[in-house]
Amino acid sequence: MTHLLSSPAARGLPIFQRKHGIVLKGSHYLTRNVGSAGALKKWTLLFGLRRTKIAVSSTQYPTVVNAGGSAGFGFYFTAAAAHLNKPTIYNNGTDYRAAEIDLEFAATEHHCIQWDSANATAADRLKYFRNARQTGFDALGLNVDSIWNAANTHYIGTFNQVAGYWLEGLLEYVIFVDNTLVAPTAVLRYSAQTNGYIPRAYSGPVGAGNSFYLDFSNDASLTTLGHDKWNGNHWTLSGWANVADAITSDLGTLGPTKSTYPRLDPLSSAGTVSNAGQSVSSANLTRVTAPLPNSGVWQAEWKGGGSTEMPGVCTNRVDAANYLGNNAYGWSYHGNGTKYNNASAPAYGAAWGAADFIGIVVDSNAHTLTFCKNGVSQGVAFSGLPEDLSFAIGQATAGGVMNCGQAPFQYPIAGAKPLNAYNAPSPAVKRPTNVTAIPTWTGNNGTTNVPLPWDATTEPTLVIARNYTQTYYAQVYDTVRGAGNVLYAGLNNAQASLAGLTAFTSTGFTVGSHGSLNAGANQSIALALRMRPEYGCQMVAVPAGTFTGAAPVAVAAHSGGPNGNRAPDMIWAKSLGIGSWVCWVKGMANNEYISLNQNIGITTSANVWGAHSASQIIASPSFIFGDNVAGIIYLFWNVPGLQHIGYGRGTGGTAPARRVLTDFDPMFWLCKCVSTTSAWMLLDRARSSRRQWGNYLQLNVDSPQFGNDTSFPNYPVATGMAVGTTDANWNASGAFYLDWLRADLHWKYA
């Protein structure tokens, strides 16, 4: 039996942002006194929520709804150590928990709870859907009455106003349908273009009785924001000063449905992120959830509590456990008037303090960073900045607010746009699952046809496949060398014939009877890529007898990547004879390499590479291929919305987590420590839960699958990965890592 990760219901994709909503920042909530009980055994609750606070201790239980006080009903994200951040329903003294955690903080998620306790089928009495995907939940007993919808006080955003139970985030809508079961697709529709679900106007039944529909669209007053669109079951807003406090501080005056709504990233901080993700108190560094675009001029504004803060920008290689500018990948402006980068602090501009607003202006076209004090430019602080930056703040021990455009700037800078105004352009590949696949299958000792969403007889295809039940090495096949011709990712062996992948077909590929890929009842998986330059990858054959000698020469012509004008960002090269896989990643020197079949970190050797161009790969034939021996080269480029190849720096734990910031929700993540000895670690959506990945494979080691989804806290989110494990293979403090991720869904649709 084969399984292809293509159904959005199976994948539970994060959902694209809506326009309306209210912002809960802590101590903000809605109440309604329900005078008469409705149906206590059947109802549906739907809500759209972008969380900005993640439970990090046993005293935090962000609560969406509550009824009947502390002994009643609640839906919250638990902070209990064994179930951290699992969606949980509490009803009359009993907890019912989801099977998966929920750590999405970079995109809106759409939740649906169906309570049907009189159902004769136990599995159907309590159903929970996140983004139209059903997630397992603890079983509900027969005919259990819910405290929700009983005659008592109902809350949204708090559990009876108890400290630690406040919800923080953007709440887009809340819909309750009394005595009726409503499908999650009442507020979502499937998009074949993106292979995901996107919001739509509510299309389900209009509820009676205690039913209500809050979409927060009537912003005439705080009172009208809480008005029910159906039955007059209105809610009262408490804690907000005025309408602007409830909506403008999040949506700004822009309100675009395609805004990224950037926030301070709660998992990238060792301190406390609060105020719906706008405020932070932390001695180290905190990043923003959204990456800066690689074109345009963009502004954020910092208002601190002292003069020691360091606002600025960074890349994924920043030293997140130190001040911003401690290494070469962070750039900041200190309150004493100096600028910081790479542990150097020359004089720059005016000193500033708690009363001042600091503008952070990134010109992505000119690759410059400028700071402004109360609207007055201090001049260009740094030039020659790389791409893939994010706004950040360091040393915010006195606390402060990072405004990316959620509220109007105190001092808007002419020519710059707030990051909150950025509407991500449509990616070139709107449906990444059309060009990348992670099929899995169960062996049958015979022949298995494995489906791909493209015709592998006409499309150039790379397949890396392995049995993850037994001890077999990963096998590499491609349409250039042909089916049946195997190279091993973990070995330096010559190419051999094997009844592993035996054919590329119009619907995918076929695996034969060899036990390495098709042993009875064994589980296998493949990474399959459609190898076209526009999809960020290309294969080039090196014919035998073409090149000799140690000096680097042009060994392969290539297309220049997606735009036809760039050297690759990553190269894998292998002789078809005996010889190691020799790999290069942008940023390495010409005498540096890593190896796919070895655990080595970056290694130096004379005459490995030359200066690769936009049309040629320059390498040493004898070092990589052996004189007069044929070879194969796989080339990879960064592609916005589809592929990320780059370096990150380990933090050693969860506070802060290592952040691999991208512009998509990942399908797989291949990680390799390049500072020291380490295996190539593969995590993917096919073998792990939606929001925590821990079932890992070592791509270059002949071992079965290791770990589980709770033992290694690696969290895929709508903008990349949050790496919370302390395991040195992913996140040793101070170590550098190669990160290769391919997209499941672009964040424009997240």
Assess contact for 328 and 261: CB atoms under 8 A: no
* Average pLDDT over every residue of 577-590: 95
Q: How confident is the model at residue 80 (pLDDT cuts 50, 70, 90)?
A: low
* 405 compared with 299, residue with greater pLDDT: 299
pLDDT at 256: 33
Give 656's pLDDT tier (boundaries 50, 70, 90). confident
pLDDT of 81 higher than 70: no
Percent with pLDDT over 70 in the chain: 93
Amino acid symbol at 105: F
pLDDT score of 13 more than 70: no
Whether the Cβ atoms of residue 198 and residue 191 lie closer than 8 Å to each other: yes
- Angle made by CA atoms 573, 578, 580, in degrees to the nearest 5: 40
User: What are the DSSP E strand ranges found in 317-431?
Assistant: 330-333, 339-340, 357-363, 368-373, 376-383, 390-403, 417-418
Is 655's pLDDT higher than 80?
no
Mean pLDDT confidence for 68-92:
85
459 touches 443 (CB < 8 A): no
Please state, rounded to an integer, the average pLDDT across all residues of the chain. 89
Q: Is the pLDDT of residue 621 over 60?
A: yes
Cα(667)–Cα(685) distance, integer angstroms: 6
CA angle 290, 132, 277 (to 5 degrees): 30
**Where on the phi/psi map is residue 434: left (φ > 0), alpha (ψ -120 to 50), or beta?**
alpha
Residue 269: pLDDT band by 50, 70, 90 thresholds? confident
pLDDT (0 to 100) of residue 153:
97
What pLDDT does 694 receive?
85
pTM: 0.90
- Paired tokens of 532: 């076209």
Strand, helix or coil for residue 652: coil
pLDDT tens readout for residues 514-526: 999 999 999 999 9
Give tens-digit pLDDT for 138-175: 999 999 999 999 999 999 999 988 888 899 888 999 99
Specify the pLDDT at position 270: 79
pLDDT confidence of residue 750 = 63
Tell me if 103 sits within 8 A of 87, measured CB to CB.
Answer: no
Confidence of residue 55 (pLDDT cuts 50, 70, 90): low
The secondary structure element, H or E, covering residue 515 is helix 515-518
Which tokens go with 378? 């201090």
| Whole-number pLDDT of residue 234 | 98
Residue 425 has pLDDT above 80, yes or no: no
Q: Using CB atoms within 10 A of its CB, is residue 296 exposed (0-12), middle (13-18) or buried (19+)?
A: middle
Query: Residue 253: pLDDT above 70?
Result: no
Of the candidate ranges 76-90, 493-507, 588-602, the one whose mean pLDDT is the lowest: 76-90
Distance CA 135, CA 475 (A): 33
Residue 697, class by beta-carbon neighbours within 10 Å (0-12 exposed, 13-18 middle, 19+ buried)? buried
State yes or no: pLDDT of 16 exceeds 50.
no
Helix, strand, or coil here: 150? coil
In this predicted structure, the answer to whether residue 403 has a pLDDT above a threshold of 70 is yes
Joined tokens for residue 349: 């501009």
**Dist CA 526 CA 632 (whole Å):** 19
Max avg pLDDT among 204-218, 264-278, 734-748 = 204-218
Nearest alpha carbon to residue 522 among 442, 463, 455: 442
| pLDDT for position 668 | 96
464 vs 319, residue with greater confidence: 464
Query: pLDDT at position 261, please?
Result: 67
Q: What pLDDT sits at residue 251?
A: 38
Output the CA torsion sign for 235, 239, 245, 247.
negative
14 pLDDT exceeds 70? Answer: no
